[in-house]
Amino acid sequence: MGYEPATDRYSGKMQYKYCGNSGLLLPRISLGLWHNFGDVDDFGVATDMLRYAFDHGVTHFDLANNYGPSPGSAEINFGRIFRNNFDAYRDEIIVSSKAGHEMWPGPYGDRSSRKNLMASIDQSLRRTGLDYFDIFYSHRYDGITPVEETIQALIDIVKQGKALYAGISKYPPEKARIAYQMLKENGVPCLINQSRYSMFDREIENGTLSLAAEFGVGFIAFSPLAQGLLTNKYLHGIPEDSRAAKVTGFLKRDQVTEDKIAVALQLNEIAESRGQTLAQMALAWVLKDERVTSVIVGASSVKQLADNLQAVENLSFTPEEIIRIESLISPF
């Protein structure tokens, strides 16, 4: 028997927020496919997580052309799952993808040139089997390609109907300003900015968030749990099956410092007093800022995803909680 989504998927606890000045609502928690959806991962678990997310009001799934491993396999697997489960519900779902990091060999498979972006979106559409992406991002400012070249490619991608909205990711504020202005002047206002943001990584508070708000651009945070440091996973050491234990992982063993673990333990006490897990409180902390539209969570199991989604049940903090949390995380 085929998959039938929950009939009460929009009457549950998921909340939605307009993305910047646009008319597009995004769920406060989106599901990212950076990890756990590649060809080295369990396809059944990946399917179950996507179904669970949609059943609980998550309408936004975030991809990039190089997600895997291997690169491209997350888009392929998502396409297979989508066709078999969600094809009839395409108009209820936001799918985003990105290009700009190394994807194929040779001089055109990396960075943010027009050549790379135009080839990348065509490849990504083929891998997923979709007719269009809802959001397509320039995945990064590469430090070489003129911003104007990259942004003109995004403008043309939207005007060609290959994406409904344009976004940028990991742009320094001075380059983001150029991108926002150019997109607006060409009738394709930037929908959203995606950058890293968590209690342990607050760099975007120094300009990125305020600039997005100035231009009416939404903001979505990735790595809101600091690659697992803001969960109970590392409170008592480094598990053998964790990202930090893997040589190829993005979270390195030397990033799991005694100082951060000591802070995480104290944050966990605050979370428990709020009736939340540490992960739930960390997500709520990012979402408390009105400039933040959504957070992207990655999950390795339905159980982990279910825990994350419960964060929306308590997104408010007392002044006393804010003061105590800030005293702990201010060094980061």
Mean pLDDT of the chain: 94
Per-residue confidence at 250, pLDDT binned at 50, 70, 90? Answer: low
Model confidence over 204-236: pLDDT tens digits? 999 999 999 999 999 999 999 999 999 998 887
Instruction: Output DSSP code: residue 90.
Output: G
| pLDDT at residue number 240 | 55
What does each C-alpha distance from 155 to 11, 20, 160, 185 come to in angstroms?
A: 36, 18, 9, 10
pLDDT score of 22:
98
In this structure, are residues 230 and 285 in contact, taking their beta carbons and an 8 Å threshold? no
Return the pLDDT at 254. 59
245 pLDDT higher than 50: no
Give the rounded percent of residues in the chain with a pLDDT score beyond 70. 94
Structure tokens at 137: 């991002």
Burial class, 175, CB count within 10 angstroms (exposed 0-12 / middle 13-18 / buried 19+): middle
151 touches 183 (CB < 8 A): yes
Could you tell me how far CA 295 lies from the centroid of its own chain? 6
Tokens of residue 211, six digits = 């600039």
pLDDT at residue 253, as a whole number: 56
- 139-192 pLDDT per residue, tens: 999 999 999 999 999 999 999 999 999 999 999 999 999 999 999 999 999 999
Instruction: List pLDDT tens digits, range 13-29.
Output: 999 999 999 999 999 99
**Once rounded to an integer, what is the mean pLDDT over residues 105-129?**
98
Q: For the residues 26-33, what does the mean pLDDT come to?
A: 98
Determine how many CB atoms are found less than 10 A away from the CB of residue 65. Answer: 27
Q: Which amino acid is at 290?
A: E
Task: Tell me the C-alpha to C-alpha distance, in Å, between residue 218 and each of 14, 80, 202, 208, 314.
Answer: 18, 30, 17, 11, 22
For residue 198, CA distances in Å to 52, 72, 288, 294, 325 come to: 25, 27, 12, 13, 13
Helix, strand, coil in percent for the chain, rounding step 5: 45, 15, 40
Q: What is the pTM of this model?
A: 0.94
Which residue, chain included where needed, has tokens 């972006």? 117
- Among 198, 200, 199, CA closest to 220: 198
pLDDT at 249: 54
Other beta carbons within 10 angstroms of residue 232's beta carbon come to: 15
- Output the six-digit token pair for 240: 């053998």
Judge whether 98 and 63 are in contact, CB under 8 Å.
yes
Domains of the chain, first to last: 16-230+289-314 (3.20.20.100)
Residue 48, phi-psi category: left (phi > 0), alpha (psi -120 to 50), beta (remainder):
alpha
Strand partners, 99: 138
E strands in the chain: 16-18, 25-27, 29-32, 60-62, 94-99, 133-138, 163-169, 192-196, 218-222, 294-297
Dist. CA 164–CA 86, nearest whole Å: 19
pLDDT in tens, 257-282: 888 999 999 999 999 999 999 999 99
Is the Cβ–Cβ distance between 72 and 28 less than 8 Å? no
Q: How far apart are the first and last CA of the chain?
A: 50
Residue 112's closest CA among 97, 96, 99? 99
CA distance 111 to 70: 18
